[in-house]
Amino acid sequence: MFVTNIIKEFYDCISGKRVLVLVHSDLDAICSGKILQALFRADHILYTLCPVLTLSDLLTAVKSHKEQISSIILINCGGTLDLVEFLELPPHIKVFLADTHRPLHVCNIYSDDQIRILGQLDDDEEVPAFGDVFRDDETSESEEEDEDGVSRISESRLEKQRERRLWEQKRNKLLFDYSQFSYFAGSTATLMFELAWKLSKDTSDLLWLAIVSLSGEQLCSIREQHKLALCAADLNTHVARLHHTNHTDTTEPAADTITFQKDVQLSLYRHWSLVESMRHSPLTATSLKLWTHKGEKKMFELLAELGLPLTECRQLFCGMDVKLRSELPTLLEGKADKYGLGGLVTPSFSRSHVFHSRCSASDFAHAALALLEPPSTDGLSMSHAFLDASDCLNGSTVFAKGIASARKQLEAVYRQMQTFLDMNQVISAGPFLYATVLQGSPLAAFMSGPHVLGALGRFTLGAHVSASRNKKARSLPLVLTTPDSSQPQDWCLVCGIPPLADTSHRNFFGKAFEQAVSKTQSRAQLEFFDSHVIRLHVEDRSKFFDALISLLS
């Protein structure tokens, strides 16, 4: 069931008890978890928090803790499963679910009380009606027994069976339509921040977490642009409100300010040189085709036209002329359209502390995402990476480490994308394109998780489309495979990226992979909550792909 009063039906229910919080290993979930932790700290609510990445992580965590706990909070995991059945939940355990993964399983939505879903459905989301998917079979059967005449019974029974078959067909169709596409709803961190606000415990630190999470969604482009823009505007009203109440005295500079203003959308440019940052940002790289000589020349042209000396652009941004730095957004905005760089300068959040240089929310998102999926050569466990990413959001030394890893990751993604294009490794399979990261390549170590795979996939697809003469390219999705870091000999990860032309950000690969696997009996693990990524045994790759092609044709 959906919770309508989040304080009464959620927060009040858990106060005074110890709760288990299971947090999916993604940026939004981490931010949400941190907001919850801050609330729990303030209200002395004892908790245990564990990260989960896969379905089996979730199952193990619940199994090992369920003896000692009566409330479980799931953040960004589990919403797409029938939780009561999957987790074998005893009736005394209540689950509070806050998940951006869609579609939510109908059993969770129509659970009486045991599963409580925080948040609401978007206006454009539709859920099959209760009567269309659930049917009280027992009562109908008992009715049958009350009947007398034999012939009438069989007649009515036939009638009923026929009706039932129809109903089931309709039901299956409804459910298939409902679950065909996987997509993401609004950020959980925003939901949690609103909870904090309702509890009058909203601070700029918590707001910043919600902002970083939103910025992460933008980077991963998992939602429609206009929805993100609306969310940003919402958060900006909170910024204004918090600053207004905190700083009545305007003469003194605020120690900690969040601003929402026009900024250049270049990856990590505050911690890099302008040239490098442009090269590694998907927007500039794909529009200018920076992996070609011509593209590079074009970039220098652009910089020259802006009046930025190349020597300045090649050194770290913080070393650039102060005047150039402050004028950069205006300069770039003026020329963006001429070079086909629409959207290069858009309003975005940044934060400045006294004695610290300004950081944008996307810097934090980049850093945390990179720490979340460290190169497999580092040998860190998922939970360790989770804690690193979580610490990185507090600023401090871990943040610096995160920025360094983010740069390395962006470089690896860029080089891999360039390899794909240079070697013509993006191949058309008919209904979709595919590309494979070769086993043994030093870059393979970096492609270790769903986020980075998504980033690589979108970058590759964008570059491919911009380089390809084929008009159809924009409407083709991409399937990316990469050796799985834990057992690169035997297993690979397969990731599906929707076509560029599709702006709804709905991904049909989850369902398609599932069907292809079951059709071919491939050895595969559909373990991720992000269902468009699966683990597949390498020997079954070709038959899996054949099935996928025939499915999607």
Partner 1 sequence: MKMADITDDILSASDDDESQVVTAAEVLLKIESLWRTERLSPTLECHQSELVDCMLDQITQMNNNLRRCKKTDLRLAIHRMELERVRYVVASYLRCRLLKIERFTHYLLEKHGELDDPSLALLSPQELDYAKSYAQSIESHFNKLVLRHITHEKLAEFDAKKMSVVPNMNGYVFLKVLKDSPGVLISDQVGENADEEVDLVAGDQHLMMYSSIQELLKSGHVELI
Partner 2 sequence: MLGDKAFSLIQELDRSQHGTLPPFNEDAVRQALEEIDSLFQQNVADINHLAEDDALVAGIHLRHAALERNKRCLLAYLYNRLERLRTMRWQLGSVLPSDVRTNLCEPELEWFAQYSSTVARYMRSLGDGQGLDLTVDLKPPKNLYIEVRCLQDYGEFELEEGEVVLLSKDSTHFLPMEHCQHLIRQGVLQHVK
Residues 188, 216: contact at Cβ < 8 Å? no
**Three-class DSSP category at 432:** coil
Q: Give the C-alpha separation, 532 to 513, whole Å.
A: 8
* Alpha carbons 90 and 13: distance in angstroms, whole number: 18
CA end-to-end span of the chain: 38
210: nearest Cα among 224, 196, 223: 196
261 CB burial (10 A radius; 0-12, 13-18, 19+): exposed
Q: Which of 4, 67, 112, 148 binds partner 2 (CB under 8 A)?
A: 67
Residue 378 CB, nearest approach to partner 2 (Å) = 15
User: Looking at beta carbons only, is 14 or 524 nearer to partner 1?
Assistant: 14
Q: How many residues bind partner 1 (CB under 8 A)?
A: 3
* Residue 293 binds to partner 1 (criterion: CB under 8 A): no
**8 Å CB contact between 103 and 508:** no
Which of 49, 83, 371, 455 binds partner 2 (CB under 8 A)? It is 49
Q: Which residues of 410-425 are buried (b: 16+ CB within 10 A; e: fewer)?
A: bebbbbbbbbbbeeeb
Q: Is 59 in the site for partner 2 (CB under 8 A)?
A: no
- By CB under 8 A, what part of segment 36-75 binds partner 1? 44
**336-395 positions binding partner 2, by CB under 8 A:** 381, 383-384, 386-387, 394
User: Counting contacts by CB under 8 A, is residue 209 touching partner 2?
Assistant: no
Whether the CB-CB separation of 522 and 490 falls below 8 Å is answered with no
Residue 16 interaction partner, one of partner 2, partner 1, none, beta carbon < 5-8 Å per kind: partner 1
15 binds, among partner 1, partner 2, none (CB under 5 to 8 A by kind): partner 1
Task: Decide if residue 44 touches partner 2 (CB under 8 A).
Answer: yes
Choice from 5, 7, 8, 15 touching partner 1 (CB under 8 A): 15
* Nearest CA among 503, 505, 524 for reference residue 513: 524
Report CA-CA distances (Å) from 523 to 139, 297, 364, 489, 504: 41, 48, 38, 14, 31
**Residue 46 in contact with partner 2, rule: CB under 8 A:** yes
46's contact among partner 2, partner 1, none, with CB below 5 to 8 A by partner kind, is partner 2
Please pick, from the candidates 5, 7, 8, 16, the single residue that binds partner 1 as defined by CB under 8 A.
16
> How far apart are CB 46 and partner 2 at their closest, in Å?
5
Of 485, 493, 480, 478, residue with least CA distance to 538? 493
Window 8 to 27, contacts with partner 2 (CB under 8 A): 18
| Interface contacts to partner 1, rule CB under 8 A | 15-16, 44
| Interface contacts to partner 2, rule CB under 8 A | 18, 37, 40-41, 44-51, 64-65, 67-68, 381, 383-384, 386-387, 394
